[in-house]
Structure 1
């Protein structure tokens, strides 16, 4: 994904660590047999996680505002080519829910599995982890593609 570019590879690794931690929380919430809890937790986790991933790549709204107009236009063009609605925007719960509709069937199976004692809750937890991980990885790939297309300089680790 970021071969040959050490700063980009570092940003990918930091983002994957964030993603893994949040996906574990999603898995735990998915195992709880309360209808809708996992959807709410997933939306809350993603609405915090995606801006953190954006920031790792210099693609948070406040970071983009600091770019010179030419570079900002280059980034916007790259975002358009990638087709992401989650890069360079303020992430809202509604935006996250709209983006996650693509995996609605997986989430429905997760809801149904939850009601089978023990084994169903384990399946639901695995699906919860996988769902959040899938959405996060897709976003991460989009960020890498935008950075590469726009030849964007990455921010220092931990800096915004």
Structure 2
């Protein structure tokens, strides 16, 4: 038996009462509204720092894009390329916006007026980036952000460059080198008057290395609960643990998706439940595919970033739903391959028209079918995501 925490996400206000009063239409409306709200929670992330620190490259990496991919990428270069406050939506989840901010301390954006000029109110948190050492402007910015009761995080970028240079030394030690870089950043920030700073060492070209995962864990811990899922689903699959977190979070929603399906079975109209389930499943499975980065554009972007061909990445995928357009027809085909699903659907349709006992039985069958199908699909897509991750990174 599955643990209760694996079946239920937080209660949706009014749903239990509506179900107890046999008002399935009201229950369905509340569930559907809640699920839509969850998938559209806005998250605005500000990326800032001095010019040339690698802000735009970090924005692109966070969104799973290459610097030179296309017009959707943030422009990069050896000179200051961000001249305005520029929003970059995540390609799969436009509710998550990364804002590439102009370098602090430029003529147009002086340090003293920086937060006001960039419109700090709209941002959920700030990531302050430096590619060498954090300077006085970075500390001033952090202190001003702190006064505004916003969160900020110091990211030391281009760590891959430092590591390549240090590897030439005879006595190179990876962990010791990273410790020296981190300690130097912390000491410099302390010397500028900043107390107990936490610094994350990041390579935008190798997010699976160094501190990017630690940065995500910190953000996940400090963000409001309603914002955490929005962040999680846009996170690049930098390790298997990220994939498992996505699977667990998506699984928490299965109970309400199945309940919504059961509500459709409560109305005695021919074919209505099947129509409700089809639309429900298309939306849910599309979300799964996007979250795991298994849609065609995401796989192509991963290929561009890692140098592993799209064909090789696709070859390890098992689920027919990955790298495919999710349609009702495709889902119906997949559902027939899940044990006893077809017979359960047929039984549900038959029971709906039996007086008195028919509707409750049909609702139970609809709940069971939807939960079972989505659970199987979710598990298969999570497994494919791990295989793609391993292939992309040559593990």
Find the counterpart in structure 2 of residue 29 from structure 1: 264
Equivalent position of 2:310 in the other structure: 72
CA distance in 1, matches of 2:354, 2:279: 26
The corresponding residue for 2:378 is 140
Q: Does the CA-based 8 Å contact 1:15-1:56 persist in structure 2?
A: no
Tell me the residue number matched to 1:48: 283
User: Using a 3 Å threshold, how does the CA distance of structure 1 residues 57 and 35 change in structure 2: closer, same or farther?
Assistant: same
**Higher helix proportion:** 1
Question: Is the CA contact (8 Å cut-off) linking 1:19 and 1:49 kept in structure 2?
Answer: no
Q: Which residue in 2 is equivalent to 1:90?
A: 325
Structure 2 regions of 5+ residues with no counterpart? 1-238
Q: CA deviation at 1:18?
A: 3.4
Deviation at 1:76, TM superposition (A): 1.1
Q: Which residue in 2 is equivalent to 1:126?
A: 364
Q: Which moved more, 1:70-79 or 1:128-137?
A: 70-79
**Structure 1 partner of 2:293:** 58
Please list every run of at least 4 consecutive aligned residues from structure 1 whose deviation after the TM superposition is greater than 6 angstroms: none
Greater per-residue strand proportion:
2
- 2:274 is paired with a residue whose SS is helix
Which sits farther off after the overlay, 69-78 or 87-96?
69-78
**Structure 1 vs Structure 2 CA RMSD:** 2.1
1:15 corresponding residue in structure 2: 250
Residue-pair matches, total: 147
Deviation at 1:50, TM superposition (A): 0.5
1:60 and 1:46 mapped to 2: Cα distance? 16
**2:118 aligned residue:** none
Take 2:291 and 2:249, find their aligned partners in 1: how far apart are those partners? Answer: 8
- Shift of residue 152, structure 1, vs aligned partner: 5.4
Structure with bigger RCO (C-alpha 8 Å, 6+ apart) = 1
Q: Distance in 2 between matches of 1:108 and 1:127?
A: 10
- In our comparison, the structure showing a higher alpha carbon Rg is 2
TM-score, normalisation: structure 2: 0.35
